Amino acid sequence: MKKTAARNLSLFLALILTAAAGPLSAAMALDKIIVYLDDTPNARDDIVVTNPDAENLYLQTEIYRVDNPGTPEEKRVRVVDPREFKLLVSPSKAVIGPGEQKRFRLMSLERNLDTEKVYRVTFKPVVGDIKTDRTALKILVAYQALVFVQPQDGQFQLQLVREGDRWQLRNSGNVNVEIASAQHCEGEGRCSDISLTGRVYAGTSLPLEADLQGGYLSLLARSAGNTEKLRIPVAE
């Protein structure tokens, strides 16, 4: 149900029969896979794509809106109707030469948000012209960037709540936060690691496996590119 940092990078493989002298791969590298924007006019950021191969990289982009992120009802909806575009990517497609780079600009049209909006942008290679007289498999590897468009005054707000016989770490704020590590501390200097990592979207919770009694949680949290250490009391 919950998304982890490892799932911020989405890879999928397509095996395509092509004319080639041996197994080929359409490779690329992105300089970032998580982007934070806000709801101010002209909010933008760039993703730089590098082609390390000896052949041209034919690349196209796709935009997906993520509805109900971090819940069982999460749904990724591809945005194709121009009237629904609230996140723009320019250019939408490109040819990147061997060893070259291309800058893709992401611009948000979202305004006056109450809660952050979540998008995923796919950078997908497509088959170009290959000159050869033998057949093989070509592997196309696509990458997805995770894009958050947040209110200007957006904040996460974490608290421990008891639901039945289990603790939940709940985010009652309006932007997401990623838990990088966690400890349960019975007192100063008396801490032990617990299994609690992952991204907590606004209005969602992260379950704790440990049965905590008193003390506090010491969390290393990341949000909007910032890292901070938090202390959250555990009720008796």
Q: Is 33 in the same domain as 76?
A: yes
Half-sphere exposure at residue 180, Cβ-oriented, CA atoms within 13 angstroms: 10
CATH number at residue 214: 2.60.40
pLDDT band at 165 (very low <50, low <70, confident <90, very high): confident
Q: Is 143 in the same domain as 163?
A: no
Contacts of 35 (CB under 8 A, 6+ apart): 45, 47, 106, 145, 146, 147, 148
Residue that has been written with the tokens 């609690």 in this structure: 196
Q: Is 224 in the same domain as 125?
A: no
- In angstroms, the CA 215 to CA 213 distance is 7
Token couple for 130: 């290959």
- In angstroms, the CA 139 to CA 154 distance is 41
pLDDT in tens, 207-220: 998 788 889 999 99
Average pLDDT over residues 152-165: 92
Contacts of 171 (CB under 8 A, 6+ apart): 156, 157, 158, 177, 200, 201, 202, 203, 204, 205
Boundary residue ending a domain (150, 178, 197): 150
In this predicted structure, the answer to whether residue 11 has a pLDDT above a threshold of 60 is no
Q: Which domain holds residue 168?
A: 158-233
Q: Is 140 in the same domain as 215?
A: no
Boundary residue ending a domain (115, 150, 185): 150
Average pLDDT over residues 215-231: 95
In this predicted structure, the answer to whether residue 194 has a pLDDT above a threshold of 50 is yes
CA 109, 45, 70, 143 torsion-angle sign: positive
Q: Coil, strand or helix: which one is 164?
A: coil
Query: What is the count of structural domains for the chain?
Result: 2
- In angstroms, the CA 208 to CA 228 distance is 20
Q: Coil, strand or helix: which one is 232?
A: strand
Q: Is the pTM of this model over 0.85?
A: no
CB distance 65 to 85 below 8 Å: no
CATH number at residue 137: 2.60.40.10
pLDDT of residue 134: 60
Of 8-17, 98-107, 199-208, give the lowest mean pLDDT range: 8-17
Residue that has been written with the tokens 């320019």 in this structure: 90
pLDDT in tens, 17-59: 333 334 555 689 999 999 999 999 989 999 999 999 999 999 9
Boundary residue ending a domain (131, 150, 169): 150
Average pLDDT over residues 209-235: 92
Q: Is 224 in the same domain as 109?
A: no
